[in-house]
């Protein structure tokens, strides 16, 4: 019988799973990404250490990643095939299972803050496009010009992709979704995810990130999950909810549940990663790609970021 005492609070973040390796990232890029992850982790950790809520913590962490042009969300989001930045985000609170999500927004500085406004101030769960932008203005969610999101490196990536013979889809596994999960001192969990989607996405494509139960889910009876990877397969698996369901209904540990669902996604031809926090504060960070930008911290003093 274990005598382990659950953590008072814990938090995990990710900046996307993908094809990055030590051979494809130089020392400067590694250092810059690690610094960005640490800044986001510190933002969420500060909220929890001060007795704040899991919802506040994941909002704070994801907003930092959205503002960092190294990650594919908010500033630095990838370009669609048509040369625009279309942003998706979701957030969910585990105590009430309240949730908010937005898709295809182009003028909201921090999509996670808009998703939270939808959760807390709107009658619906999921808003998209121009309607979501109208809601943002009505609820004083900060806006930004297109120039805020666009970066030369992301434009270069689009041009590179379009120059390929089959250049219409990011087949190189350069996924860059960001997310956070947390368990606060009151025992509540929350999850948030934000993304620019796939380089070269077309036809209004939306992935798993803003879909409650696919890329984002939280339930105090089990835990909270944020996903990153090949969105189509994560949608088909209902990945985030499936992980929570395995934890709640058959008592699987977070890492076991995560690996089982990622195995199912693999059988469908998909790859990616997940971060999970259980209702007891246990953290799992599991991925089937060469790397996943990630970090974790808890009330015992743990604090670490990693990529490979």
pLDDT in tens, 278-308: 999 999 999 999 999 999 999 999 999 999 9
- CATH code assigned at 106: 3.60.20.30
Compute the distance between CA of residue 63 and CA of residue 113 in angstroms, rounded to an integer: 8
The reply to whether 171 falls in a domain is: yes
What values do phi and psi take at 203, rounded to 5? 60, 30
pLDDT score, position 296? 98
Catalytic residue among 106, 108, 177, 193: 177
Residue 173 tokens, joined: 């596994």
CB 108 within 8 A of CB 136: yes
Whats the size of the chain, residue-wise?
A: 308
Distances (CA, A) of 56 to 44, 49, 191: 8, 12, 10
Compute the distance between CA of residue 77 and CA of residue 146 in angstroms, rounded to an integer: 11
pLDDT score, position 169? 60
pLDDT score, position 229? 94
Into how many domains does the chain fold?
1
pLDDT score, position 164? 83
Burial degree of 261 (CB within 10 A; 0-12, 13-18, 19+): buried
Burial degree of 27 (CB within 10 A; 0-12, 13-18, 19+): exposed
CB atoms within 10 A of CB 38: 18
The reply to whether 2 falls in a domain is: no
pLDDT score, position 176? 77
pLDDT score, position 3? 43
The reply to whether 287 falls in a domain is: yes
Instruction: Give, as one character, the DSSP assignment of residue 125.
Output: S
The reply to whether 5 falls in a domain is: no
Compute the distance between CA of residue 157 and CA of residue 187 in angstroms, rounded to an integer: 42
Q: What is the pTM of this model?
A: 0.96
For residue 146, give the nearest of 211, 82, 70 by alpha carbon.
82
Give the pLDDT confidence of 84-104 residue by residue, as tens digits: 999 999 999 999 999 999 999
Question: Interior CA angle at 16 toward 191 and 121, to 5°?
Answer: 30
The reply to whether 32 falls in a domain is: yes
Domain that holds residue 163: 10-306
The reply to whether 51 falls in a domain is: yes
The reply to whether 252 falls in a domain is: yes
Compute the distance between CA of residue 74 and CA of residue 156 in angstroms, rounded to an integer: 17
The reply to whether 3 falls in a domain is: no
pLDDT score, position 297? 98
Contacts of 219 (CB under 8 A, 6+ apart): 94, 97, 189, 244, 248
Segments in the chain below pLDDT 70: 1-6, 167-175
Q: What percent of the chain has pLDDT over 70?
A: 95
Q: Which region holds residue 140: left if phi is over 0, alpha if psi is between -120 and 50, else beta?
A: left
Is 177 a residue of the active site?
yes
> Which residues are registered as beta bridge partners of 277?
224, 283
Give the pLDDT confidence of 242-272 residue by residue, as tens digits: 999 999 999 999 999 999 999 999 999 999 9
């Amino acid at each position: 019988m274990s005598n382990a005492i659950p953590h008072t609070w814990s938090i995990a973040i990710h900046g996307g799973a993908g094809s990055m390796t030590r051979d494809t990232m130089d020392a400067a890029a590694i250092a810059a990404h690690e610094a960005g992850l640490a800044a986001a982790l510190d933002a969420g950790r500060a909220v929890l250490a001060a007795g704040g809520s899991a919802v506040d913590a994941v909002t704070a962490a994801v907003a930092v990643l959205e503002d960092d042009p190294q990650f594919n969300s908010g500033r630095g989001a990838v370009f669609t095939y048509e040369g625009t930045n279309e942003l998706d985000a979701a957030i969910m609170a585990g105590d009430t299972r309240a949730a908010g999500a937005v898709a295809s927004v182009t003028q909201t500085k921090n999509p996670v803050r808009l998703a939270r406004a939808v959760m807390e101030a709107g009658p619906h769960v999921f808003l998209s496009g121009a309607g979501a932008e109208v809601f943002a203005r009505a609820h004083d969610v900060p806006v930004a010009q297109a120039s805020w999101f666009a970066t030369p490196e992301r434009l270069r990536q689009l041009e590179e992709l379009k120059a390929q013979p089959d250049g219409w889809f990011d087949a190189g596994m350069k996924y860059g979704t960001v997310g956070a999960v947390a368990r606060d001192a009151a025992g509540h969990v929350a999850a948030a995810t934000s993304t620019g989607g796939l380089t070269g996405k077309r036809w209004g494509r939306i992935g798993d990130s803003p879909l409650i139960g696919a890329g984002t889910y939280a339930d105090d009876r089990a835990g909270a999950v944020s996903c990153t990877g090949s969105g189509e397969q994560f949608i088909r698996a209902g990945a985030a909810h499936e992980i929570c369901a395995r934890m709640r209904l058959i008592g699987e540990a977070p890492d076991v549940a995560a690996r089982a669902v990622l195995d199912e996604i693999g059988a469908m031809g998909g790859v990616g990663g997940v971060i999970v926090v259980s209702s007891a504060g246990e953290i799992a960070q599991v991925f089937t790609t060469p790397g996943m930008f990630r970090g974790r911290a808890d009330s015992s003093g743990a604090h670490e970021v990693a990529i490979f």
